[in-house]
Amino acid sequence: MQRFKLTIEYDGRPFFGWQKQDNGPTVQAALEAACRCFAPDEDITVTGSGRTDARVHALGQVAHINLEREMTIDALQGALNYHLRPNPVSVLKVEAVDDDFHARFSATKRHYTYRIRNRRAPLTFERGLVWQVTRPLDAEAMHEAAQVLVGTHDFTTFRHTACQAKSPVKTIDYLTVEREGDEIRLHAGARSFLHHQIRSITGTLKLVGEGTWTKDDVQASLEAKARTALGLNAPPDGLYFRAVEYGDIAPKA
């Protein structure tokens, strides 16, 4: 049996998230269905580095599978992408890895980006791919306020009430906000995040950008350690799972 690491991108709009469920299509289910097409005698589970919610996208989600049949890396990537059609899911890279590699538990850092399109004109090509905010936003004020949240904190305020994490304490390694034209991007990196943490942070920083909240309000919201103190939860549309790091664990030659 051989273990393979998959790097995957997907458009989250048609999906009910990453994880398999009975309510509708998911990315994990689409990948496992593709595996059954070329390995019908194997019960292949696709294990992801983390879950994404309905309508959340990925540029570099990572997963692993165990495969009994002999296949080259190129053949496996081609078979997966062929059988994934017409789903908006693409396997960007396939690597052979040791059996101790685990897409979720071996990860040392996860990176997310949230995209805001800050303009009054309606969206055309990017509907469902960004969060449109029509009121002018001050990206510099958003960035300054974001630094309150960098480091180790109790993020109860920025955690969904259904979050299953054992502790609300997380360490955010970096949190930046930048503007390019009418697009504002929030970038965040941490070993792991709470359910809705990035969306809750983005929504709250949007209030700072439009002048409704200040940096001190963000600090007070964090210190309240209560979901009721949250400013706003951003929609899933603009959230992208950008990349995963695995420290010193390297692919097999």
Instruction: Give catalytic residue positions.
Output: 53
Listed residue (158, 198, 192) closest to 177, CA to CA: 198
Question: Cα-flanking dihedrals φ and ψ of residue 102, to 5°?
Answer: -135, 125
In the chain, where does DSSP find H-type helix? 27-38, 73-84, 139-146, 197-209, 215-224
Listed residue (222, 218, 109) closest to 173, CA to CA: 109
DSSP letter (8 states) at residue 129: T
| Cα 235 to Cα 12: distance, rounded to the nearest angstrom | 13
**Per this entry, what is the length of the chain?**
253
Reduce the DSSP state of residue 130 to 3 states and report it. strand
Give residue 153's identity as a one-letter amino acid code.
H
Q: What angle do CA 158, 245, 236 make, to 5 degrees?
A: 35
Neighbours of 18 (CB within 10 A): 27
- Please name the residue that has the structure tokens 């309510």: 23
Question: Cα-flanking dihedrals φ and ψ of residue 91, to 5°?
Answer: -90, 110
